[in-house]
Amino acid sequence: MITAVQKPFKDIERMVQGVDRLLVLGCGTCVTVCMAGGEKETGILASALRLAAQAKGTSVEVVEDTIERQCDREFFEPVREKVEAADAVLSLACGVGVQFAGEVFPRARVLPGLDTRFYGATEQQGIWSERCAGCGSCVLDRFGGICPTARCSKGLLNGPCGGSQKGMCEVDPKSIPCGWQLIYDRLKLLGLLHLLEENQPARDWSTGRDGGPGKIVRDDMVLEP
């Protein structure tokens, strides 16, 4: 799941300053689960913006709506008229949704209402933690199903650094477990500690961000021009 948090209200107010008609557009998938940009959060933020404008004596029309996903073109059709009638769209989607909304509606000014964080899992209600860095070259089979790129603060592939103490990471010994302690414990539980004897080659970062913007093409699904 892509996780995100809502931007500070003062930053959102700054972005929408001077906008006469604003559409606050929520997203019904990932950011709904992490309670940052779903229908409920969209309604609360829209109301807060109306009240803030009223308190300042300014005139702004705030319209709100939520679609299933802002990363799929077909879901934008029901809100097309609202988007085209707005001076700006405040998107409560992840960064993918913000950018894709601008592609679907190239004349629309689309603003980000959230800060996108990471690919995470729900530990418990209200707590999400990173599990994947989207590197494009998964090595979970070698590390007991625990990702050293995402879970080790330094992304080390051949063992821990010298800063791990009592199973905790030196970056924040109170809240961040050492990724390599997690890997060791899991491999020991699985009886696979011998995997740690294998030297891991330097990662090929070309499959991730260093290789430029990624793209997946399924030839069996792409229609011929």
pLDDT in tens, 94-136: 999 999 999 999 999 999 999 999 999 998 889 999 999 888 8
Residue where the block lists tokens 């090595």: 139
Q: Select from 1.10.10, 3.40.50, 3.40.1000, 1.10.760 the CATH code of 2-117.
A: 3.40.50
CB contact at 8 A, 93 and 27:
yes
Alpha-carbon span 95 to 4, nearest angstrom: 9
Alpha-carbon span 153 to 222, nearest angstrom: 39
In the chain, domain spans: 2-117, 133-211
Alpha-carbon span 223 to 212, nearest angstrom: 25
What's the pTM?
Answer: 0.86
Return the closest-CA partner of residue 27 out of 105, 89, 118, 109.
Answer: 89
Amino acid letter at 30?
C
For 17-57, how does the pLDDT look when each residue is reduced to its tens digit (9 = 90+)? 999 999 999 999 999 999 999 999 999 999 999 999 999 99
Residue 225: pLDDT over 60: no
DSSP annotation of 206: G
